[in-house]
Amino acid sequence: MAALDTAPRARTIISRDPTRLLQIVEEIYHIKDLDTLLEKVLLEARNFVKAEAGTLYLAAGRYLYFSYVQNEALFREDRPKDKYIYSNKRLAIDKNSLAGYVAATGDSLLIDDVYDISSNVSYHFNPDFDKKTSYKTGSILVVPLETTDHLILGVLQLINAKNETGLIIPFSMQDRLYITEFARNAANAIEKAKLSREMVLRMVELAELRDPYETSQHAKRVGAYSIELYEAWALRHRVEDRKIKHMKEILRNAAILHDVGKVALSDVILRKPGGLGKDEIIQMKSHTIHGARLFKYVHSPWDRMAAEVALNHHERWDGRGYPGKIDNIFAREIRFGPGKREKEIPLAARIVALADVYDALMSKRSYKDSWKEEQAMRYIRVQAGRQFDPELVGLFQRNYDTIRAIRKRYV
């Protein structure tokens, strides 16, 4: 049963198109990448009920974690970093906060004015965000992301419904019914996408068993850096929106799996203190080939991209990288060829190469401290046209606020 807390004033009911909602449900079921799906779910839910802002939380243990935050009044569309705001924060799943109450009980909340909530309920509105940003939260609709098996994966929270003239109005009972049904379908799609992501991260964890520096957080950061850098490149090159969305879906997982070939290397090499011998260096570099060999289903765009990135992410713009040009990576004996250079290196691999090195520089290791931002960015600038694609370095610098926001999210 839904909890209802409304101020005693008339509602303005705006007609909704249920056919459009069915179309949205069909669209989200075809999205395989978890992050792409979460962002789409929040955006479409907001658009359907004309909500000015919203938050999508995912549940983990006893907490809700901010996965995506959108706010038309505060966050500009041309600033990708805004989507990562508050993404490393969490709420307890209990009956005290609005989202926590919905996750704890499975009931939805429909509130006309969050500053006028009845005193006889356990939940309350936290005005801290409003105070910090000078934003004014008014009406709110909060629904659980509950699967058909009654598993609550998270919470969808929509803020400040707007009428045709842009005035803030209460959400309607019709809105609650539509969004609750949409959230059920979204939860099932999210459950499938989460399973796919978990399988990808398990492959990273296998590599981590061999190489303690190949962590899932490192992989997530490289994946997030890579899709933001690709989007900046694609917008500059006027790539159509449909292709950008498709590329981002497959690039993230490919970037996450860039070093998965290390599962084929010996612990003796990966954990050896000090420098490696000549033969050991060759074996270490062969992780690029071992990784590419794992993705052999050439008819799958996911496998093709993952193989492309795994094989080429250590190539260099100046042609001094590895493993170089190889006729057949499945041959019994492999000899490294002359390095690929400039645009012989696939775009996805050039992007991941930059993202990977940056994150390695900024990460603490047993053999080094993390670099300071200025030091890491100076290195990347110096390596433009040498190790890295100079155009990508320029885009990386211009979008560094987003890169920094991602690093804070996946700590």
Query: Which domains can be identified in the chain, with CATH numbers?
Result: 3-193 (3.30.450.40), 211-409 (1.10.3210.10)
Q: Please report which confidence band the pLDDT of residue 20 belongs to, taking 50, 70 and 90 as the band edges.
A: confident
Select the more confidently predicted residue: 213 or 407: 407
Of 345 and 32, the structure prediction assigns the larger pLDDT to 345
Residue 229 pLDDT more than 60?
Answer: yes
Q: How far is CA 369 from the centre of its chain?
A: 27
Q: How confident is the model at residue 257 (pLDDT cuts 50, 70, 90)?
A: very high
Q: How confident is the model at residue 9 (pLDDT cuts 50, 70, 90)?
A: very low
Average of per-residue pLDDT values in the chain: 90
Asked whether the beta carbons of 24 and 44 are under 8 A apart, the reply is yes
Q: Measured between alpha carbons, how far is 50 from 47 in angstroms, rounded to an integer?
A: 5
Comparing 191 with 276, the larger pLDDT belongs to 191
Decide if 283 contacts 266 (C-beta within 8 A): yes
pLDDT of 89 > 90? The answer is no
- The residues that are catalytic are 262
Segment 227-237 shows an average pLDDT of: 97
3-state secondary structure of 318: coil
CA distance 265 to 283: 7
Q: How many CB atoms lie within 10 A of CB 64?
A: 27
What is the pLDDT confidence band of residue 212, given thresholds at 50, 70 and 90? low
Largest CA distance in the chain: 78
